[in-house]
Amino acid sequence: MAEYHGQIQLSLAGFYDIKTDAGEMFRARARGNFRKKDVKPLVGDFVVFSATQADDGYILSIDDRRNSLVRPPVSNVDQAIVVTSVEIPEYSSNLLDRQLVALEERQIEPVIYFSKTDLISSESREYLLQVAKGYQQAGYQVIFPEVSFDDASLDEIRALLPDKLTVFMGQTGAGKSTLLNHLVPDLDLATGVVSETLMRGKHTTRQVGLIEMYGGLVADTPGFSAFEVFDMEANQLTHYFREFNRYSPECKYRGCVHLKEPGCAVKPAVEMGEIMTSRYENYKMFYDLIEGRRPVYNKHDKKH
């Protein structure tokens, strides 16, 4: 029985389709000892497996993961296209910053794609262009189409895909599936309310797969409707706001969390407009949320 190394491209009912380093496809199952250890192979995993023919393989070991996501269950993700609606549902800096924190924590590079930009008034457009500029200054790639899903913005995304594993994310209705369908018209991913409901049906076969697209791999199940959980300690949160990291070396105290400490370099940067106020306000809110999860033995005012 020969041994191979490859990457899982599809997971379906306990079977895994694996593409070898040489480009061959095999179907394999996971050995029972994975179940005993409560380890489940994920799409995106690099694995060693044995097989005598194309459909009788067994996964022997899983390489260390660089990162992994719960929804969609994919590992070794390079980047996420964060589809951010500006209208229906309206733009939420809080949701966008939650998504960015979650991605930063997992070392996944975010690309912010504003959708439905043709549905807004010229005043809203001016405001949102300033928002987009703020995120660019923070260090993120931002795509703000003249018209939703126009050729120029699609070309920008196509240019990002080669040699990377990409996920598309955004709240329900933001336009993730629509964007994917525009990128690859024959993909025909289900869009709209009806399909969302059907996809939650009990009898739907749950499969997760990677689609080869423009020289890269894309997870075919858009995930992430919302982020409620911050897994880090409150004092770690600052590390996941990348523009704060530019200023924090100038803070008077190591470990400054940019709230009440004297000699903080981040707060003046907010006041001078070098860091977006919305980012700082969301940071404070997230910090309080994390702190609020702890048992408080001596209650004190947490307003900043």
Structure tokens at 286: 């997230």
CA distance 109 to 100: 9
Binding site for GTP, residues? 115-118, 170-178
Give the separation between CA 46 and CA 64, rounded to whole angstroms.
Answer: 8
Burial category of 254 from C-beta neighbours within 10 Å (exposed 0-12, middle 13-18, buried 19 and up): exposed
* Residues 274, 90, 196, 190, CA torsion sign: negative
Contact 226, 95 (CB under 8 A): yes
What's CA 232's distance to the chain center, in Å?
A: 17
282 residue type, one letter: N
Q: Residues forming the annotated binding site for Zn(2+)?
A: 251, 256, 258, 264
Known binding-site positions: 115-118, 170-178, 251, 256, 258, 264
Closest CA to 45 of 6, 15, 82, 3: 6
